[in-house]
Amino acid sequence: MQSIRQIARLSGAVAIAAAACFGGNAQAKLVGDSITATYYYPNLSTPYDMGTVIVGSGVEFNDLGFTVDVSDYHIEITSKVFGTYNQSSFNGFTLVDNTNPHAFDELKFAYTTFDSNLKNSIKITGNMVSVNWGTFFTQPGYKIMLEVPEPASYGMLLAGLGLLSVAARRKKKVPAGAAQ
């Protein structure tokens, strides 16, 4: 019974420490930032300005056969058309955060309903995200999701690792008088 109380206390301490370290908001608080979208075809020297918006609620960009919805912790790109994109050196778009040079540092690829190889055509750096459609097939509703891992995920990971280390240490202890 005593060991269960100790583990419970330690778990609570780990959870409080994790909340203190990782609680609050994730790094990429994007609402309120100024974002510029540019489409490029057939290469990076032929830009089409899609505009600049302040990130808020709803879809930020709704042009050229797809929508881009930016929130505090994710970017969702959704296709509106059927088709195959043309082969070219670059056939896609960039999003640039004009407010924060490190806005997308924590952003990670989450999933896509396009061809899974599209993941390799997505580049995320500092304040820019670029998607090169290449020759990928699309249909309405296909999505790309980029997300910032939630702070609670890190806290849960830390708490779990803490509990595993406690359990491992307890297994190593051999009671006095026990046969070895």
Residue 167 is predicted with a pLDDT of 74
Taking each helix axis as running N to C, give the angle between helix 2-22 and helix 151-172, from 0 to 180 degrees, rounded to the nearest 10. Answer: 150
User: How far apart are alpha carbons 38 and 164 in whole angstroms?
Assistant: 48
For residue range 84-128, list pLDDT tens digits in order.
Answer: 777 777 888 899 999 999 989 888 888 888 877 788 889 999 999
Helix-strand-coil split of the chain, %, nearest 5 = 25, 30, 40
User: How far apart are alpha carbons 142 and 140 in whole angstroms?
Assistant: 6
Long-range contacts of range 6-11, CB-CB < 8 Å, 24 or more positions apart? 7/163, 7/166, 10/162, 10/163, 10/166, 11/159, 11/162, 11/163
Question: What is the domain partition of the chain in residue ranges?
Answer: 2-25+153-167, 34-149
Residue 32: band (very low, low, confident or very high) from pLDDT cuts 50, 70, 90: very high
- Which of 7-21, 36-50, 143-157 is predicted least confidently? 7-21
Using the predicted structure, report yes or no on whether residue 71 has a pLDDT greater than 70. yes
Count of CB atoms within 10 A of residue 97's CB? Answer: 21
Question: pTM of this prediction?
Answer: 0.68
Q: Which two tokens stand for residue 55?
A: 């990130």
Q: Which residues pair with 61 in a beta bridge?
A: 68
Backbone angles phi, psi at 137, to 5 degrees: -80, 145
Between residues 71 and 28, the one the model is more confident about: 71
